[in-house]
Each structure stands twice: as C-alpha cells, then as structure tokens.
Amino acid sequence: MKIVTIVGARPQFVKTATVSKQLREHKIQEVMIHTGQHFDDNMSQLFFNELDILKPKYNLNINNLPHGALTGRMLEQIENILLVEKPDWVIIYGDTDSTLAGALAAKKLNIKLAHIEAGLRSHNEKMAEETNRIVADRISDLLFCPTITAANNLLREGVSESKIIVCGDVMKDSVLHFMPKMQKPAVVLPEKYAVCTIHRAENINNKNSLLNILLALDELCSTIDVVCPLHPHTKNIISKFNIETDKLKIKFIEPVGYLEMLYLLHNSSLVLTDSGGLQKEAFMLGKFCITLRNETEWVELVDNGCNVLVGDDPKKIIGCSIDNIGKIIDLNSKLYGNGDASKMIVQKLKEYIQQ
C-alpha cells in the first residue's frame, strides 16, 4: 500500500502530522511531496522539524508566482512524480494552490484521491481558496469533512453521500497532541496581550484595508498590548506601501513555529486573525476570535458565539475586541470532533485500499 501526500503551506504541515503518524502505525507507506509554496524557513522547514513530520521525498521549491503559473508548474511536476511512484491513493489537504494542483494531477492519472478538510465554503467566489476547494471536492473520491456543516454543503452540491465521511478536524488532533510540547517564543511578552495575524490577499494587497487594520490595532494597544507575528509576505507588502511600523505600538515579532504559536494562543486574552486555521485553534484553546474578514468557512464558530466577523472596519475591530477581551469559550463543545479524526481517516483509507 502506498499513499502520496501533497503539502505546501503551514496549515497543511500541521494537519499532516497526526495523519502521517497513523499511517506509520498502520504500516502504510507514505511518500510526501512538498510543493514549496511556503518558502520562508520559519514557515516551512521549522514546522517539519518541530512536529516530527516525515521528511518530504520531493521538494519542488515552486513559489512566489501568480496563481495560474504556480498551479501549472506544480501540476506538471506532481504528475511526473505520480507516474514514477504509482500510489494507490493521493491525499490532499485544505484549499491552497498545492491542493488544487495535487487534485488535478491525481485525477488526470486516474489515481484515487482523498481530500481532508473537504466541504468548507465561505461563499466568496473572489477568494482563490474557494475555487480550489470546490474543484478539489468535485473530483475527489473520498471527502473527509471536519463538520456536519461541511458534509451538508457537499450534499447540497450533489456529491454522492457514499463519498462523504464526517470525521472531525485533524487540527484538533494536532492541538491535543502538541499542547504539552508548546514552547515560549524567544521574545519578551507582555503580561496580558492579544495575538494577531494578517496575511489574506484582500487585507494586505489593498493599502487602505491594511492601514485600517494596523491603525485599529494600534488604537487597541491603548487597552491591551497586541503581539503580531508578521508573515513574510505581509512584511514585504508593509514595506512596499512605506508604512512606518516603528511608529505603531503593535509588538511585531518574527514568524513563529507551531509550538510557539500554541504558547502565544494559550496565554493570550484575545485572538485577531484572517487565518482560517487560527480561528479554529483559538476556539480549541478556549479563546474568543475577532476575524478580520467579512465571511468565514468556519460558520459554526460564529453561530456558536465564539467568533465575530469584522472585516477591515476599524470601529468594529476596536469595539468587538474591547468587548471580548478575556472572554472564556466552552472547551467542552464538540464542534470539531473528539480528537480522533486522523485515526478514522486512516482506517477508512485502509478499508478502501484493501477493497
């Protein structure tokens, strides 16, 4: 039995950690392809090292290109690798360009395809991620959904119920597994702080949106310190727009690894982010989340009062943040399963491989 796993971005590194562990325990051979979509060492290699993830057999180093060129080059190289490896299944995660390229390569070669974190919808078709996830879901043979909501999305789109498996969220598996190993970042942290990340194209490619968010965070610093690990691309855009961060009260720090991010989240009083993954991690660690977007694929967090959508509106960012500092989230909620998603995924894959 052989499975090829395709990853390329931070959330996928985190998600594959517990699934790969289960594959090893079931003695299923896994070959990993890293597309190189996240090319900064702190955003890539660090995660493989600290999470003890299988070293990629192939590292394509494809990055820093427009979406079409990025996806095309990945598709070409992944297809060549699949022709050599001849796997029984290909596993893809989430909604990145790496996900889409992997899905297309597998489908064109008639290799069975499993999509982990299937069925999510933000209903914002301007997001590249929305296109990626819709196409990947449409052509996958098994769809592992983190929630009932995700499964219902697929059923409404006409996907056969026989392909859909509600397994819970592998990110919950990772949070539970790695929390005891969390590490304090090598920076001086305020006693009480909010943690914030910004990287979405709609927030950083528009100067007005980026300024709205940064100036709102700066004002929020009058109430609570804000610690912001700065994504490399966001840092470059800030520099391009000549935004003088040294005049802001925000505490910008270098990108952190997963274990350090767990520490930052665990010890924070509030989370602000435009990241889908961080919205869930905040919830899993009992933190209220201010989402710097106008929509989210994780609708159950909003429906259950754990998350509020504020976009780039400064008044909403400041007001909602102040209202929810230190708000406690019910950790007994089972929105994302029991922490055994990886085990269920591998058991189901093994059943299908043996058929």
The string of pLDDT tens digits covering residues 198-243 is: 998 899 999 999 999 999 999 999 999 999 999 888 999 999 999 9
**Per residue in 287-346, pLDDT tens?**
999 999 999 999 999 999 999 999 999 999 999 999 999 998 887 778 999 999 999 999
Q: What distance in Å separates the CA atoms of residue 193 and residue 78, rounded to the nearest whole number?
A: 43
At residue 206, the pLDDT reads 93
**Tens-digit pLDDT profile for residues 151-208:** 999 999 999 999 999 999 999 999 999 999 999 999 999 999 999 999 988 999 999 9
Q: Does domain 2-169+337-354 have CATH number 3.30.870.10?
A: no
What pLDDT does residue 43 have?
55
**21: enclosing H helix or E strand:** helix 10-25
| Model confidence pLDDT, tens digit, residues 87-109 | 999 999 999 999 999 999 999 99
What does the mean pLDDT of the chain come to?
93
pTM: 0.92
How many C-beta atoms surround the C-beta of residue 219 within 10 A?
A: 17
Please tell me the total number of residues recorded for the chain in this structure. 355
Q: Is 68 exposed, middle or buried (0-12, 13-18, 19+ CB in 10 A)?
A: exposed
SS3 call for 335: coil
> How confident is the model over 275-287, as a mean pLDDT?
94
Query: Which of the listed CATH numbers 1.10.3720.10, 3.20.20.70, 3.40.50.2000, 3.30.930.10 matches domain 181-324?
Result: 3.40.50.2000
pLDDT value of residue 332: 76
Q: At 70, is the pLDDT very low, low, confident or very high (cuts 50, 70, 90)?
A: very high
CATH code 3.40.50.2000 region(s) in the chain: 2-169+337-354, 181-324
Q: What is the pLDDT of residue 64?
A: 82
Annotated active-site residue 233? The verdict is: no
Query: What are the DSSP calls for 268-301, one per residue?
Result: -SEEEES-HHHHHHHHHTTB-EEESSS--S-HHH
Which bin fits 87, alpha (ψ -120 to 50), beta or left (φ > 0)?
beta
Helix (H, G, I), strand (E, B) or coil at 185: coil
The residue that leads in pLDDT, 124 or 105, is 105
Q: Work out the pLDDT band at 1, boundaries 50, 70, 90.
A: confident
Q: Which of 26, 177, 199, 233 is catalytic?
A: 199
Banded model confidence at residue 55, pLDDT cuts 50, 70, 90: confident
